Amino acid sequence: MLKVCKFGGTSMADASAIRKVKDIIESDNSRKYIVVSAPGKRNKSDIKITDTLYACYRDLADKGSFKERFALIRERFTGIVKDLNLSIDFDKILDQTEAEIAEKKSADFTASRGEYLSARIMAEYLGFEFVDAEDMIRFDSHGRLNDEYTDDKVKTRLKNIEKAVIPGFYGRNHEGKVKTFSRGGSDITGSVIARGVGADLYENWTDVSGFLVCDPRIVPDAKTIRFITYKELRELSYMGASVLHAEAIFPVMKAKIPINIKNTFKPEDAGTMIVPNEQYKSLGNEIITGIAGKKNFTVIFIEKSMMNSEVGFVRRVLSVIEHHGLCIEHVPSGIDTLSIVLESEQLKNGVLTDIVNEIRENVSPDYVHVIENISLIATVGHGMARRQGTAATLFSALAAAGINIAMIDQGSSELNIIIGVANDDYENCIKAIYNAFIN
């Protein structure tokens, strides 16, 4: 058994959390490759190391000096080193880091130092080897992860190292300069390392015991999801469920390595297990796996008799949106109707009026109608396809709660049903769906 473990910012926030991390790693000899984030918040009003580092970079760019701000970084890390009783000369490492930030003048390099310093401490504390992510993770000239190169490097670099600590969040670009993933990207590093070494399991340790069926701000006692497939998670995280970086599933998905979301502060909790898509058949009996949603969409509803026999109709409608450089969220359609769902944010300053006018000119519809302030809510679960009457249960629950549905889109995957409701009904809608399916 070989496990790659990633510990997030709260797990690395101070010495007391780091001691818990050590206990977790030492309690299971198969936890061999450890990926760490930079120290995160110790309490609600605290500042993440990564944010302070970005501020260091801005100070450097604007004022030519970041000394004062770097003192905060220094204080935080030396505090941890002292509390852990480490004998390493960390001042020297910090001096070197400060000099390199001044010399390189790069936002990515500066931000990456949080993970670098965190991993140096963790390697020392565990007695594991420190292996730098920049020697393994490579981005191509478009800024995308270079999978082949990275896989190969991970394999060869770690082949003869039994146990290692690796900083998350960064690698090198095609020119050899340090480049970071997007925020929260240490999750991706963990996934990449897990695939590279052919791990049996990727454990992602955070400060919650997994994904909840829905947002606990709406349903306070929402249950934890025990099993979820990569695909279901994809649908939920696209809609805003954010325990794991949305891109972190891709590297392990190809290799069919499961991810276990675990809680550093409650290691006895089973957490959520994210498994290959084909395994859903052997999982529990739940009809739905999760509910997620987002507010503030606009639906442009277009009606034209016989649109299905008009060659190029849909393309001409969509080309209007493309001309404005906008992204489309959904395109549900009927025989004579087509709806386009867009994020309202993109349609400000007269853009919506322009689009509607251009659609009228381009395809001469019988009718165009705009519905604003819409929320999209996705009900996700492989179980829905196996069970008759899922849609009926959902729609009856909403009818009983007096919620009007403005749009329905049952994706072609049979994995989810997305509905559009008024923003004002958002919370009630999620509650109604939860109560209809989860008991």
Q: How far is the CB of 426 from ligand ASP (least distance, A)?
A: 27
Name the residue number minimizing CB distance to ligand ASP.
Answer: 186
Distance CA 362, CA 6 (A): 52
Q: How far is the CB of 191 from ligand ASP (least distance, A)?
A: 12
As given in the structure block, the two tokens for residue 227 are 């099993």
Q: Beta 272-275 vs 337-343: how paired, if at all?
A: unpaired
Q: How far is the CB of 51 from ligand ASP (least distance, A)?
A: 7
Residue (98 or 187) nearer to ligand ASP, CB:
187
Residue (47 or 400) nearer to ligand ASP, CB:
47
Residue (181 or 313) nearer to ligand ASP, CB:
181
Residue (37 or 191) nearer to ligand ASP, CB:
37
Q: How far is the CB of 49 from ligand ASP (least distance, A)?
A: 7
Distance CA 222, CA 213 (A): 6
Q: How far is the CB of 188 from ligand ASP (least distance, A)?
A: 8
Residue (48 or 74) nearer to ligand ASP, CB:
48
Distance CA 294, CA 124 (A): 43
Q: How far is the CB of 2 from ligand ASP (least distance, A)?
A: 22
Q: By the 8 A CB rule, do 159 and 180 touch? A: no
Residue (8 or 381) nearer to ligand ASP, CB:
8
As given in the structure block, the two tokens for residue 311 are 């060659």
Q: By the 8 A CB rule, do 33 and 130 touch? A: no
Q: How far is CA 312 from CA 251, 306, 319, 363, in A?
A: 37, 13, 10, 9
Contacts of 33 (CB under 8 A, 6+ apart): 3, 4, 5, 158, 163, 164, 166, 193, 194, 197, 199
Residue (37 or 146) nearer to ligand ASP, CB:
37
Q: How far is the CB of 336 from ligand ASP (least distance, A)?
A: 47
As given in the structure block, the two tokens for residue 162 are 């039994």
The sign of the torsion formed by the CA atoms of 112, 117, 119, 120 equals: positive
For ligand ASP, the binding residues (CB under 6 A) are 9, 37-38, 48, 50, 114, 168-169, 183-187
Burial group, residue 375, by CB count within 10 angstroms (0-12, 13-18, 19+): buried
Residue (168 or 251) nearer to ligand ASP, CB:
168
The sign of the torsion formed by the CA atoms of 212, 216, 219, 223 equals: positive
Q: Find where tokens 């992204």 sit.
A: 327
State whether residue 177 is helix, strand or coil.
coil
Q: How far is the CB of 269 from ligand ASP (least distance, A)?
A: 21
